[in-house]
Amino acid sequence: MDFTRIDELNAHLKTLRPLNAGEVRRLQEQFVIDNTYNSNAIEGNSLTLRETALVLQEGITIAKKPLRDHLEAIGHRDAFQYMLQLVDAQEELTEKVIKDIHSIVLMHDQANKGIYRRLEVMIMGADHQPPEPYLVPVQMEQLIADYPGMKERLHIIETAAALHVRFESIHPFIDGNGRTGRILLNFELMKAGLLPVNIKFADRLAYYDAFDACRRANNYDAMATLIAGYEEEELQRYIHIIKQ
């Protein structure tokens, strides 16, 4: 696959006047709210974008909305902010990193946060059966062991796509896999100097189709194409903001 356009846009962005700390913080806060809304909505959270902003910025409780939905919004925001700290420290992808992020995402579930599942699960609507529970630690260990070599051989977009598809296919936790997986995707993109991507709730069918296509073709091209589109969109948006 050809990622020349993304590489060119990213190189161009780095030549422009950097945003000051306040501007970066404001854009980051806006992204986290939007990303929290979309990532949670994909998983069935009922908060709207405006309600998500009110919960995260004002600490407001939305009437007639489940407490769980509020806690999912807070957990996702806190996990994303923790991920940013890991990016700054250039932490490697490890089992501890994955479990720590999941623990924050699933802050409302004390019994299951940061713990690999002990039950069989099904991914609704997908033609894929995740591995039995006893295989989860083995397959996660293999994924983490494979990842450095993948980064050496592939463009970061392809590598992040492979990580995302393999992680979600293992489905290592009883809940919170999608949200955790999308944060891990951005963790790797940002460590490589790219911008985080925001997979939209409105695009969820294309997102699900990309997983199915990757599994049928036994490659990661469909997910890489989806991620590349989001990355190009973010790079162009940042360039426009700075030039304005």
Give yes or no: 108 in active site: no
Structure tokens at 235: 């790079």
Query: In angstroms, how far apart are the furthest CA atoms of the chain?
Result: 54
Q: Do residues 62 and 51 lie in contact, with contact meaning Cβ atoms separated by under 8 Å?
A: yes
Answer positive or negative: Cα dihedral of 214, 216, 217, 222. negative
DSSP line for 112-158? TTT----S----TT-S--PPPGGGHHHHHHHHHHHHHHHHHHS-HHH
pTM tops 0.85, yes or no: yes
Structure tokens at 8: 């060119």
In angstroms, rounded to a whole number, what is the distance separating the alpha carbons of residues 16 and 185? 26
Give the chain's domains with CATH numbers. 19-243 (1.10.3290.10)
List the pLDDT tens digit at each of the 244 positions of the chain. 899 999 999 999 999 988 888 988 999 999 999 999 999 999 999 999 999 999 999 999 999 999 999 999 999 999 999 999 999 999 999 999 999 999 999 999 999 999 999 999 887 766 788 999 999 999 999 999 999 999 999 999 999 999 999 999 999 999 999 999 999 999 999 999 999 999 999 999 999 999 999 999 999 999 999 999 999 999 999 999 998 8
Catalytic annotation, pick one of 76, 102, 155, 171: 171
Q: Is residue 65 left, alpha or beta, with left meaning phi > 0 and alpha meaning psi from -120 to 50?
A: beta
Q: Do residues 189 and 228 lie in contact, with contact meaning Cβ atoms separated by under 8 Å?
A: no
